Amino acid sequence: MGRKGIPGQRHIPQRTCAGCGAKRPKREMVRIVRLANGEVAVDTTGKRPGRGTYLCPVLSCWETALKRGRLDHALRGPLSSQDRDALRAYALAHLSPRPEAKEA
Ligand SMILES: [Zn+2]
């Protein structure tokens, strides 16, 4: 703690969405992580250890990634049905169906 950031460097880290393939600033994306026990979780802090991948905060990207096996590929192994259900439930609870749609 108490460490300073890198002075003079304004690089914004970008990540590629595992669903649509678009690049966005990392902080706009949702990180999905495969934990050491093999479970897949939504990483809301962005700091959990494990192999991670990123998705846009858009429902359709999550559906694409879940349907087409892209998440399995990105996370280096098949997702269990519980993992899929958990991700789908998260997406339905937290994400907008479309990028321009905002929840009131
Ligand atoms: Zn996307």
Q: The whole model's pTM is what?
A: 0.81
Taking the mean position of all CA atoms in its chain, how far away is CA 14?
Answer: 12
68 Cα–ligand 1 center, Å: 13
Report how far apart, in Å, the C-alpha atoms of 91 and of each of 56, 58, 80, 95 are.
10, 8, 17, 5
Q: What is the pLDDT, as a whole number, of residue 11?
A: 87
Write the pLDDT tens digit of every residue in 33-85: 999 999 999 999 989 999 999 999 999 999 999 999 999 999 999 999 999 99
77 Cα–ligand 1 center, Å: 20
93 Cα–ligand 1 center, Å: 17
Q: What is the pLDDT, as a whole number, of residue 5?
A: 63
Domain residue ranges in the chain: 14-94
Q: What is the pLDDT, as a whole number, of residue 100?
A: 58
What topology does CATH give the domain 14-94? Answer: Hypothetical Cytosolic Protein; Chain: A; (3.30.1230)
The pLDDT of residue 104 is above 50: no
